[in-house]
Amino acid sequence: MVALDQAAIIYDPSGFAEPPSLDWFQSPPGKSGADRRGRGAVYYLATAAGAAVLRRYRRGGLMARLGTDRYLWLGAEVTRPFREFRLTAALYRAGLPVPQPLAAAYWRSGMTYQAALMTKRIDRAETLAERWRRAPAAIDWAALGGLIARFHALGICHADLNAHNILLDSAGRAYLIDFDRGRWRALDAIWPAQNLARLHRSLCKIGAGQPETLVAPADWAALESAWRSQLLHPASIGEGAR
């Protein structure tokens, strides 16, 4: 960790010989792209570590009324970027399909802070929502169910599992992104099913309730079947890693 005046940066030394400048997080020099979650801003950067994605932390929903990008300061290690960086790094080291975390930073102002996270960009990837709109027949729903089960079987609870937080690359390989507020949990029968239900609701929301754009029952059944099967056979969790 690099401590600065009222700020700090953590980074992956395998990607950066020197920590990226705080200016990169506060005023990203790259091109702004569409935010996958419908709030905040995502920037695509060319860095010493390669093509990267920088995401500024911003609130959504009712909490945005209290301030869109400021969070209560409770200490460096419990800041949202540091927690997400460390969780994503652990998943990446374990061979799970997540973007490589490159750096994270926070900067304080009184009792609040702002923050951003930088990850390696997955080449030619699009979200599940985008792929579904463009080429729904190309989606392997069973593979997606197995992917989600790999995380669940290890006790990884994604706080916002939706069609914008699953990426598919040009070969159809799937990745989970955005582990803000994600955490390790003891496996039970409740939260994994709630995670899956959240994904289904997001697909229905994208479809705007139109029958012709909703995920086909057979496709969702294939996803659920593979998800259950993978959870019952945890020995296969490590198969198909990056």
Active site residues: 160
- Which of these, 1, 229, 240, lies nearest to 106 by C-alpha position? 1
CA distances, 157 to each of 16, 186, 219, 232 (Å): 29, 9, 23, 17
Quick one: angle between helices 141-153 and 217-232, nearest 10? 30
Place of tokens 């990884």: 156
CA atoms within 13 A on the CB side of 242: 13
Q: Report the alpha-carbon distance of residue 57 to residue 39 in Å, rounded.
A: 9
Percent of the chain that is helix, strand, coil (3-state, to 5): 35, 25, 40
Residues 6+ apart with CB under 8 A from 165: 36, 37, 127, 158, 176, 177, 178
Q: CB-based contacts of 234: which residues, under 8 Å, 6+ apart? A: 153
CA dihedral (74, 19, 95, 171) in degrees, to 10, reads 120
Residue 131 near residue 88, CB atoms below 8 Å: no
Instruction: Identify the CA nearest to 107 among candidates 70, 143, 140, 77.
Output: 70
